[in-house]
Amino acid sequence: MRHENSVFHDLLKRIPWAAFERLVEEHQADKHVRRLSTKSQLVALLYGQLSGAVSLREIVGGLQSHSSGLYHLGAQPVSRSTLADANGLRPSAVFAELFAQMVSRAGRGLKRAVGEAVHLIDSSSLRLSGAGSDWARFSDQACGAKVHVVYDANAERPIYAAVTPANVNDITAAKVMPIEAGATYVFDLGYYDFGWWAKLNAAGCRIVTRLKSHTKLAV
């Protein structure tokens, strides 16, 4: 029977696979890997996201139901335990840097005057448990992750994201975020740091935030 590409196959064409392979090599993500390549891991995670799967078991079951088409996606079947191990042990930097590259490419056609750019900075925490979550454990009772996001308010899309254990302070993560010179940054008191504000100011950025009651301010 003649093969017909799926919508998922067409979506995967938008991923810069050459750049992805360079990141896999740079971070040695496939070193000593026998069962599940990082590419197959990414395909599985994207399938889970796009299909609305809420568990690894649901992802694995969904992929198995489409097993005949995995070859044409350049992927392979996956077991729940192998996918869980991959999620817990593979370097997340591969996916974070791929995301950053794809966002920068998407933004090329959406450029506008930098003075009009408004970026919102915030974070969101999530409790974690089970296999593969040890990297996010910071006490005997607490285990969780935090995603730090810079959101382009005008384009209605994130332009940067990083995942850390939940006990990492917002300002600590913000200090390594890329700064767009001349843009306006909006954030709350979690980012109260004069040194970081000075860095934004030096880049010609505007700042919208709240001040603590004891802040000494001269206009």
Segment 103-108 long-range contacts (CB within 8 Å, at least 24 positions apart): 103/157, 103/158, 103/159, 103/160, 105/16, 106/157, 107/155, 107/159
pTM of the model: 0.56
- For the chain, 219 residues long, give each residue's pLDDT as a single digit of tens: 344 457 777 888 888 989 999 999 999 998 888 888 898 899 888 888 888 888 888 888 888 877 767 766 777 778 888 888 888 888 888 888 888 888 777 655 555 555 578 999 999 888 766 555 555 566 666 667 888 999 988 878 888 888 888 888 999 999 999 898 899 999 999 999 999 999 999 999 999 999 888 888 887
